[in-house]
C-alpha cells in the first residue's frame, strides 16, 4: 500500500504559501508507516513548526496504469478525511536547498486517517469538509474548489505509477493551514459529520 499526496491543489492555499499555481498536479508520497494508528499523535522532535493540512482522501479500488480520464471514476468509490502533517521549517529548508521533501512530509504518524468512509455517487459530487482546532474552525473546504479533480489526479499519477487496490490519495489542502502545539485537539468533519478526532501529545 502506498500513500500519494497532491500538493497545491487549491488556489487560496497556493496563495497563502506564496507559491505559483501548478499547470499539472504536483505529487509526493508517504510510506505506510505514516498512518496514525492510535488516538494520540506525538509531536516530532525534529521540528518546531508543525502544520496541519486537512484533505479529502480517496481509496483506490483496483489496479490501474495509464488510466484515461473518462475511466478514472471506475477506480474509486469512497472518500474520507486525513491530515497531511508537514514540518514547515524542515520543508522550507529543503525547498531552499532544492532537496526532496520526504523528511518534512513522510515521517512516522504524518498521515492520520479517518476510519469512516463515505460512498461517492459520482465524480462531480461536492464534498464539503472542515477542520477544527481546539473547537474552532480553521479550514473549510469543498471539492469543487480543487484545481485538479479526482479524475484528473488519477489520470496524471497513473502515467508514472501503477495504482493498486488499497492505495490512498490525499487530494490537497484548502487555505487556512497553520501550526499545532502539544496539547491541541484536531477534529475533522466530513459533510458535517465528525470522522477524525485526536490529540497532539
Residues engaged in binding Zn ion (CB under 5 A) = 53, 84, 173
Contact at 8 Å (CB) between 79 and 117?
yes
Q: How far is the CB of 172 from Zn ion (least distance, A)?
A: 6
Q: How far is the CB of 180 from Zn ion (least distance, A)?
A: 14
Which residue's CB is nearer to Zn ion, number 8 or number 59? 8
Contact at 8 Å (CB) between 155 and 65?
no
Task: Provide DSSP, 143-197.
Answer: GGGBSS-HHHHHHHHHHHS-B-TT-EEE----S--EE--TT-EEEEEETTEEEEE
Measure Cα distances from 104 to 8, 91, 99, 114, 188 in Å.
Answer: 16, 5, 11, 22, 22
Which residue's CB is nearer to Zn ion, number 60 or number 169? 169
Which residue's CB is nearer to Zn ion, number 5 or number 200? 5
Residue 85, H or E segment: none
Grid cell digits, residue 121: 455517487
Which residue's CB is nearer to Zn ion, number 53 or number 151? 53
Number of C-beta neighbours around residue 67 at 10 A:
20
Which residue's CB is nearer to Zn ion, number 5 or number 189? 5
Q: How far is the CB of 175 from Zn ion (least distance, A)?
A: 12
Q: How far is the CB of 53 from Zn ion (least distance, A)?
A: 4
Instruction: Give one word for 9, left, alpha or beta, with left for phi > 0 and alpha for psi -120 to 50.
Output: alpha
Q: How far is the CB of 34 from Zn ion (least distance, A)?
A: 12
Residue, CB closest to Zn ion = 84
Amino acid at each position: 500500500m502506498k500513500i500519494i499526496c497532491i500538493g497545491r491543489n487549491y488556489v487560496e492555499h497556493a496563495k497563502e504559501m506564496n507559491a505559483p499555481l501548478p499547470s499539472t498536479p504536483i505529487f509526493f508520497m508517504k510510506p505506510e508507516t505514516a498512518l496514525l494508528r492510535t488516538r494520540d499523535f506525538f509531536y516530532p522532535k525534529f521540528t518546531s513548526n508543525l502544520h496541519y493540512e486537512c484533505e479529502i482522501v480517496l481509496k483506490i479500488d483496483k489496479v490501474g496504469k495509464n488510466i484515461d480520464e473518462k475511466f478514472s471514476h471506475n477506480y474509486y468509490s469512497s472518500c474520507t478525511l486525513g491530515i497531511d502533517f508537514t514540518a514547515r521549517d524542515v520543508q522550507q529548508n529543503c525547498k531552499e536547498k532544492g532537496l526532496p521533501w520526504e523528511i518534512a512530509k513522510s515521517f512516522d504518524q504524518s498521515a492520520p486517517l479517518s476510519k469512516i468512509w463515505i460512498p461517492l455517487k459520482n465524480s462531480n459530487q461536492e464534498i464539503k469538509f472542515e477542520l477544527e482546532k481546539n473547537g474552532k474552525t480553521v479550514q473549510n473546504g469543498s471539492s469543487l474548489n480543487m484545481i485538479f479533480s479526482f479524475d484528473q489526479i488519477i489520470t496524471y499519477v497513473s502515467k508514472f505509477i501503477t495504482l493498486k487496490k488499497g492505495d490512498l490519495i490525499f487530494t490537497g489542502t484548502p487555505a487556512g493551514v497553520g501550526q499545532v502545539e502539544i496539547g491541541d485537539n484536531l477534529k475533522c468533519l466530513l459533510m458535517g459529520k465528525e470522522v477524525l478526532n485526536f490529540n497532539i501529545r
